[in-house]
Amino acid sequence: MKMTLNSVLAGAIALGLSASAGFAQEVTLRCQHFLSPKGSVPRYFMEPWAQKIEEESNGRIKVELYPAMQLGGKPPALYDQIRDGVIDCGWALPAYTPGRFPESEAFELPFMTSMSAEASSRAAWEYSEKYLMERMGGDVHLMAVHVHGPGVIHTKGDPLKTTADFAGLKLRGPSRQANALLETLGATPVGMPVPAFPPEALSKGVVDGGVIPWEIVPPLKVHELADSHTQIGGDRALYNTFFIWAMNKNTYASLPDDLKAIIDATRVLTPRPGPVRRWIRRCGRRRAGGRHRQHDPHPGRWRGGRAARHWRCTDRRLDRGSDLERPGRCRHGSPGPGAGRQVLGPVI
């Protein structure tokens, strides 16, 4: 059988195109979390992260984000879903499975982290590289860790001015350490994932209040249910929560080396979210303003596991009507620092 030069060239070209197409394969990453898509973490971390990954891979990686557990399961199951390959990547809280990763609880101890979520998150990543990679690294491919802004106590009724005001209150806590703190202060702690806090527990009177940072107040509409908001002053946060952003190990291992490099390039936290995170906190705090009473008690001194009995209290009434409905801008009109530029790094 005769083969012309043209036919040989055509076959070679077809073979080359086939090999090229195989190399430039498309990968779809299904990533799940439990927050509303309007939350600060999805909008200012996950969505920009997905966009960056897709752009730098020239479309070879497609990221699908599924908020509010749309792929099924409950928030405490997220870590296992990532590990078992039910999802390709996700945002999880080790605290939702108490005692499983006690190393991460170091950042959830009372007054352990600073009031700067950015500095504390960088410290959390350095800590994780040294103490968590061996344990978590056997299960998942850890891409980022972070903490949130200073924890705030949101309650129905009057604000908390002294430790005596905690007596008899049922307060939602996110972790074993936060619950231990609330119990020490005299409250009855009720552990639950944050999605169940405002719409179910607080609205139905299951709890009298709970602790969450300002950033998550608007998307959860806590300002519509709580009357008072108490943030501890000083340079240390009342409590904190440790978060991870991780990928299934087999999913990561199946990627070509150049795509792995793109994923790994996002593992280092950038300090750029600082102004954005502060703006988000300001929006949340102003959203809780107006008729709400907000207090900044002086931090109690910890002696023998108990806080001091007297806190200095300052009334504040802040502007009404700001929220996170418009990207990069509070509703009251002050431009947010995220306007007009991409923001990377975990923000909450």
What does the pLDDT average to over 35-60?
93
pLDDT above 50: residue 265: yes
Give yes or no: residues 45 and 89 share one domain: yes
Return the CATH number at 225: 3.40.190.170
222-231 residue pLDDT tens? 989 999 999 8
What does the pLDDT average to over 130-150?
92
Does 21 fall in a domain? no
DSSP-derived letter for residue 246 is E
Residues of the chain with pLDDT > 70, as a percent, come to: 70
Give yes or no: residues 35 and 49 share one domain: yes
| Residues whose CB is less than 8 angstroms from the CB of residue 4 and which lie 6 or more positions away in sequence, other chains included | none
Predicted pLDDT of residue 90:
98
Confidence at 303, pLDDT banded by 50, 70, 90: very low
Give yes or no: residues 284 and 212 share one domain: yes
Predicted pLDDT of residue 326:
30
| 3-state SS track over 149-216 | CCEEEEECCCCCCCHHHHCCCEEEECCHHHHHHHHHCCCEEEECCHHHHHHHHHCCCCCCEEEEEHHH
DSSP-derived letter for residue 147 is E
Give yes or no: residues 61 and 161 share one domain: no
Give yes or no: residues 52 and 141 share one domain: yes
Give yes or no: residues 163 and 308 share one domain: yes
Confidence at 318, pLDDT banded by 50, 70, 90: very low
Range of the domain at 289: 151-239+278-316
Give yes or no: residues 134 and 40 share one domain: yes
Confidence at 24, pLDDT banded by 50, 70, 90: low
Reported pTM:
0.77
Does 206 fall in a domain? yes
Does 166 fall in a domain? yes
Query: Are the beta carbons of 299 and 232 closer than 8 angstroms?
Result: yes
Lowest mean pLDDT among 52-56, 141-145, 280-284: 280-284
